[in-house]
Amino acid sequence: MSSPSRDATNRFDGLAAGYDRHRPTYPGEAIDFLIQTCGLKPGTEVADVGCGTGISTRILAARGLTVTGVEPNDEMRRQAQSIGATSGPAITYRAGRAEATGLPDEFTFFVLVAQAFHWFANESSLREFHRILKRDGWLTLLWNEQDRSDPFTDAYFRALVRHSPEPHFAARTYHDSADVLLHSTLFESQPRMTFSHSQDLDEVQLLGRAYSASFAPKELIARQQLESDLRQAFATYQRGGSVTMRYETALFLARKIG
């Protein structure tokens, strides 16, 4: 049987452009916290594993860090490279998986996994992160989780779960997968931190945000039903031609032991 990370690699085929265009960034406060807590200085070599289209990679590079983005999906990585070419020499992208990044031993002082660890939440990936981290290096797991206390965000969430062919994926709380890190003997974990975040979307962007999910329906009737529900939610909650998706960004920080 193939590993979960291998199964996940091709889930985003055909979604790269929409993913990069419609997925949210990450709160500046969370990035500030990481830079300050981990002592990251301009030019520091860091790794962004499961970097997708480079959304988080570019955020790190914009703070002056030298970033290597590791991504197994060819389309997602090519999308990242097409943007990275205009972002300066601080970003390098390479093919690799969380369990086999291809990076040297003790390559970096900081590893970020943003919106991806749930696809490879296993001891093999943690051993690989431990291997590529320098002594006392830091591992960070980061997720934008939809804040269902907000009525519009809850309506969006329920529409995706209702029409997804994989409702168990659509309904997941992704940061629950951090448990494997919290119980690992390879890292000393700090308590989870949360940051508020939001994303303003017009109607077209709202549909693009939904279809960027790997578990969004691909069958025509289900897509039409999802679109109808989302348009209705947009009409109900829009103000000035846009709606606001609310997120609670979960951050897990851990330090290498040994």
Average pLDDT over residues 190-209: 97
Instruction: Report pLDDT for 10.
Output: 85
Instruction: Report pLDDT for 89.
Output: 64
Average pLDDT over residues 202-213: 98
Q: Please provide the DSSP assignment of 150-179 as one string.
A: SHHHHHHHHHHHHH-S-HHHHT--GGGGGH
Across all residues in the chain, what is the average pLDDT? Answer: 94
Residue 130: C-alpha distances to residues 134, 175, 193, 196 (Å): 8, 20, 22, 29
Average pLDDT over residues 184-210: 97
Which domains occur in the chain, in start order? 4-146+172-198+246-256 (3.40.50.150)
Element (H, E) at 34: helix 28-38
Instruction: Report pLDDT for 93.
Output: 97
Instruction: Report pLDDT for 1.
Output: 31
Amino acid identity, position 113: V
Cα–Cα dist 96/2, whole Å: 16
Q: Say if residues 146 and 249 touch (Cβ distance below 8 Å).
A: no
Q: In the chain, where do the E strands start and end?
A: 45-49, 66-70, 91-94, 108-114, 133-146, 187-189, 193-201, 243-256
Instruction: Report pLDDT for 88.
Output: 56
Q: What is the pLDDT of residues 120-171, one digit of tens each?
A: 999 999 999 999 999 999 999 999 999 999 999 999 999 999 999 999 999 9
Instruction: Report pLDDT for 9.
Output: 81
Q: Is the pLDDT of residue 85 over 80?
A: no
Average pLDDT over residues 32-57: 97
